[in-house]
Structure 1
């Protein structure tokens, strides 16, 4: 798999130098790159009009000469397009061409929508994008590249990390669960609650991350998912890098571990009330609007193991 189609479904490319570096970096690591004609369009903050970006998605799905479809960047804009996307056609084109659709951030909405609207198994890689990940001034991080190449070329995900901030109730636990891995950007997932574009996944391993959100907003969105019954239906929740802004004086020491503890307590009360298995929240998953980052396949069965005998050693694996 060495042919990639690059397209812009959301925000306009602001840093054209980063975009060019990203294209060059993809070529250096062996990809034959084709650019969507609309990739560099701009209308206000968007990569072209809604109609142009919708067509860019349709064209990408139908790009028979490419095997990998990669978004240039995220931003905002896909939410506008969800009602007008030809979901069944998109899914069939992705399946028939054997495409891997890669991206994160705003692309979360597109991937979740495809999962919700199609019964066809698709290759939806929640992973790096052109501008930020491949187009950084220092080049793509070797760890990001290793995870990406393993997923794209081998269809395999192997992620090891140390959970630093963990609810005390998890201490000492030996955990092993198997279920579909899914999720992505926290704000995007909350935005599709109550819509036809949220897949109904139970017994899953839910991955969540966000950027530039104050901790109280992260807590509020996590509680929204908990109160909507989403978190309690999973086997585990993995919180990635949230890249929250600096705390304010008003926070009085309140930080992300406090927010996670609050949500874990709510989940624990829910499990006791319903007499169901506890859903642990594990932090520091190496994914988010940061680098380096791992990647994972949306909706594909994964195995999560946690070994607390040597710190909190976590491992997530998937195979297509």
Structure 2
């Protein structure tokens, strides 16, 4: 498995490892997704503070570049945290960070260890879905703590939330760029416990109008619901499993990287056929980094795909949020009530995501 060419993209391209669906979409429309407990009690992890200990794990791609890990350790220490590395963080098994059992064991041990206050993935890549059946969800539920990452980590974020009710966080991994934008949202959400309002940066530079990080409103309006989502490819590949939360009334947020637009079209179609799009109250597409339209004549654009699949839902929806394989990242809690303003392109938590 080759690392992403852009060092600021913390995870490895979904396309390289998940280029074909693990499940066919045929028959999803008639499947019953009400296997979830409607009374799932949401559990908030304890807010982080300086002096707390963050455990680094590699549930997917291997951390074979030790300097990257050291930079992560130093970055977290600069924020006032202590850092403990998982026993198998440098293991290698092909493109994976060791055997499934060992990667899962690191996570289970981090949750069991009373000295660990939060768990952060070092990388994404591929491999998290393989360890979903190996996690000790009873143990996790009894020892709730912050669990954070993005990209392939989506499988764990959704799996842990769906099986325990523990709020998880779609945010930086260890190898992310720890700049002021990402650090501020990390601290506001996980340390200060703010009912954070997430807004794109405003920066015109030398241009007359803002060119980068613009918001594209698909359908105007304000929507309220629980935030649920993550990487589109990963989500679409665990559909039909018990590790997918209930999307009824939720605000769905998704992101991806290095996917041709026809693949995005295919996966959003899969969400539609699975009945998910008809259940949600709002829609946010973050960044699809390095996802250009196909060079072939007549390719659909992302805007075309939104017009085809999202616009007909007649729910507040926008794209361009700072969620995904980018330097500047929001920290987005999964399972917390929030509202979106699709005209402004903002996400506002209705409550603290931590206790």
**What TM bracket, shorter-length normalisation?**
0.7 to 0.9
- Cα deviations across residues 196-229 of structure 1 (Å, max 9, x unaligned)? 1111131111110011111110111111111211
- Say if 2:116 is the partner of 1:34: no
Distance 1:27 1:226 in 2: 43
Counterpart in 2 of 1:259? Answer: 305
Q: Residue 124 of structure 1: which of 140, 163, 168 is its match?
A: 168
More helix by share: 1
Counterpart in 1 of 2:341? Answer: 305
Distance 1:247 1:299 in 2: 33
Q: Residue 319 of structure 2: which of 273, 276, 283 is its match?
A: 283
Counterpart in 2 of 1:294? Answer: 330
- Say if 2:72 is the partner of 1:72: no
User: TM-score if structure 2 supplies the norm length?
Assistant: 0.77
- Cα deviations across residues 140-170 of structure 1 (Å, max 9, x unaligned)? 2210010011111122332013863233xx3
User: TM-score if structure 1 supplies the norm length?
Assistant: 0.85
1:138-177 alignment to 2 at 5 Å?
140-156=178-194, 157-161=196-200, 164-167=215-218, 170=219, 173=220, 175-177=221-223
Q: Is the 8 A contact 2:61 2:127 kept in 1?
A: yes
Q: Residue 66 of structure 2: which of 7, 13, 16 is its match?
A: 16
Counterpart in 2 of 1:225? Answer: 271
The size of the alignment, in residue pairs, is 289
User: Is there any run of 5+ residues in structure 1 with no aligned partner, and where?
Assistant: 134-139, 272-277
Q: Is the 8 A contact 1:232 1:279 kept in 2?
A: no
Q: CA RMSD in A?
A: 1.8
Distance 1:251 1:196 in 2: 40
Structure 1 residues 54 and 19: CA distance shift in structure 2, 3 A: same
User: How far apart are residue 82 of structure 1 and its match?
Assistant: 1.7
Counterpart in 2 of 1:275? Answer: none
User: How far apart are residue 251 of structure 1 and its match?
Assistant: 4.8
Question: Does the residue aligned with 2:254 lie in a helix, a strand or coil?
Answer: strand
User: Is there any run of 5+ residues in structure 2 with no aligned partner, and where?
Assistant: 1-48, 201-212
Structure 1 residues 105 and 114: CA distance shift in structure 2, 3 A: same
Structure 1 residues 196 and 253: CA distance shift in structure 2, 3 A: closer
Counterpart in 1 of 2:348? Answer: 316
Distance 2:301 2:68 in 1: 32
Question: Does the residue aligned with 2:143 lie in a helix, a strand or coil?
Answer: helix
Q: Residue 261 of structure 2: which of 197, 209, 215 is its match?
A: 215
Distance 2:100 2:297 in 1: 39
Q: Kindly report structure 1 stretches of 4+ aligned residues shifted beyond 6 Å.
A: none
1:180-191 alignment to 2 at 5 Å?
180-191=226-237
